[in-house]
A and B are shown apart, each in its own frame.
Chain A
Amino acid sequence: MVLLSSCSNRYKYLQTTQGDARCIEKFRPRFTSALYSTQVDILKHHLSGLLFFKQMPDSSTRVVFANEMGFKFFDFEFSKDGKFTKHYLLDKMDKPAVVKTLEQDFALVLLNPDLRQAHTAADNEYGYVVVPTAKGNNYYITGKDCNSLVRIEKSSRRRPAVTVWMQSYTNGTPDTIRIKHEHFKFNISLQKVVKQ
């Protein structure tokens, strides 16, 4: 039974609709300068620190994560058109798989997908903006009228591999962000804090 449910296509009930895929653009966080208290659980390890998003004058976004004592883990840049640059990653973490995973996770949070190939769909409960990727689709799941962002799923053909929740927007940025990997234990949880 478990095997059957894990193999079933999570998206098989989706019906294509004629909506506007660009409706999700309003959920793109405006990270002018936002600081988050951050907890990372990866396999048996637990990390905490402060994650800082800053929009630069060239409209790129820098994402910097350091522990509370100032010890820096990474410094990434996403250009306006989504190009990724690794400025710094702690030597111990600097593995291609780690870089790729973090790049993909934060690309979901920045919510800046190329919508040229996107279409909209719906099931009984939610609206979906479906963005094709190399290995499946990214699903931006909204309320029926696209007035609220429920979650984002980065998926293979059948089921989600990564789920992102961004909730309680204030001043254009979510108060909480949660990233959950479905195939192995890797969860990132962010809570907005006041930057002094």
Chain B
Amino acid sequence: MYKWLLLLVCIMGSIAVKAQSGFKPVADLGPLKQQFAKAAQQTQSIQCDFVQEKNLSMLSDKITSKGKFWFKKDNKVRMEYLQPSYYLLVINGKDIRIKDAQKENKVSGKSNKLFEQINKITVDCVRGTVLENADFRTKASENAQFYRLELEPVNKVMKDYFNSIILLVDKTDYSVSKITMGEASGDDTTISFLHKQLNVNIPDAVFSVK
């Protein structure tokens, strides 16, 4: 009897959570992949602000960072953190450079498997090809405004660090509005992309470190 009651409570709980978020599962990923890829094909560039929140679960605290983001086809990304301290990440094809308050560094993606994979996710997200990424199993759900893509890592390097990566994709233009990276430790990092401008002209010089 007790077990049945417990089961009932769990089911009621899960219904309540689903109703709260308003997301319903997308059974067939096929059409979504097509729409996503089609929109990505039409997206030549993205320019926006971002807010990053690192949630430290055990400390009941978070660290908030803010900055600017640029993407240009095919694989140019500039992520410039302005607060609370300066940090620049520039991906230009296979070339990854970072610059902090003191130093500029070239990152060798090959020698840092995890960094290479995180880099691939970032680019895949903005290019709309993340659903094709074989490093993850994907589940999709939707509400009126967003698609919610839950990516579960399948390879060991990613699994050791991430539990899941959740993308919130805006239905109006199929651009990523929010990325939440859940760590195995219980912490997570959320990046929200704000004030998005699609297909504006971004000079190539933006993707050099300076």
Are B58 and A75 within 8 A (Cβ)?
Answer: yes
Are B84 and A69 within 8 A (Cβ)?
Answer: no
B52: Cβ under 8 A from any A Cβ:
yes
A96: Cβ under 8 A from any B Cβ:
no
Knowing A62-B59, A70-B189, A72-B187, say if A50 contacts B160 (CB, 8 Å): no
Interfacial chain B residues near A88, Cβ < 8 Å: 185
Contact with A along B56-79 (1 / 0, CB 8 A): 101101011110000000000001
Knowing A33-B61, A75-B185, A194-B84, say if A69 contacts B101 (CB, 8 Å): no
Chain A, interface residues (CB within 8 Å), range? 20 to 34
A66: Cβ under 8 A from any B Cβ:
yes
Knowing A52-B63, A54-B61, A87-B58, say if A72 contacts B185 (CB, 8 Å): yes
Are B56 and A52 within 8 A (Cβ)?
Answer: yes
A37: Cβ under 8 A from any B Cβ:
yes
Shortest Cβ distance from residue A34 to the other chain B in the assembled complex, whole angstroms: 11
Interfacial chain B residues near A69, Cβ < 8 Å: 52, 79, 87, 89, 118, 189
Knowing A64-B56, A69-B89, say if A39 contacts B100 (CB, 8 Å): yes
Contact with A along B82-119 (1 / 0, CB 8 A): 01110101000000000011110100000000000010
Partner of A68, one of B61, B64, B65, B103: B65
Interfacial chain A residues near B81, Cβ < 8 Å: 68
Interfacial chain A residues near B189, Cβ < 8 Å: 69-71
Are B160 and A91 within 8 A (Cβ)?
Answer: yes
Shortest Cβ distance from residue A31 to the other chain B in the assembled complex, whole angstroms: 12
Interfacial chain A residues near B56, Cβ < 8 Å: 52, 64, 75
Interface residues of B: mostly helix, strand, loop or mixed? strand
Task: Give CA–CA (A54, B64) in the complex, Å.
Answer: 15
Shortest Cβ distance from residue A27 to the other chain B in the assembled complex, whole angstroms: 25
Knowing A39-B101, A48-B100, A70-B181, say if A54 contacts B59 (CB, 8 Å): yes
Minimum CB distance partner of B66 in chain A: A196
Partner of B52, one of A33, A56, A70, A87: A70
- What is the number of residues of chain B that contact chain A, defined by CB distance less than 8 Å? 29
A121: Cβ under 8 A from any B Cβ:
no
Knowing A33-B61, A66-B54, say if A50 contacts B85 (CB, 8 Å): yes
Minimum CB distance partner of A189 in chain B: B102
Interfacial chain B residues near A35, Cβ < 8 Å: 63, 84
Partner of B103, one of A37, A46, A70, A191: A46
Minimum CB distance partner of B102 in chain A: A39
Are A37 and B101 within 8 A (Cβ)?
Answer: yes
Shortest Cβ distance from residue A190 to the other chain B in the assembled complex, whole angstroms: 11
Interfacial chain A residues near B170, Cβ < 8 Å: none
B124: Cβ under 8 A from any A Cβ:
no
Interfacial chain A residues near B58, Cβ < 8 Å: 62, 75, 87
Minimum CB distance partner of A36 in chain B: B85
Task: Give CA–CA (A69, B64) in the complex, Å.
Answer: 11
B183: Cβ under 8 A from any A Cβ:
yes
Minimum CB distance partner of B81 in chain A: A68
What are the nearest 5 A-B pairs in CB distance?
A70-B189, A37-B85, A48-B100, A68-B87, A193-B84
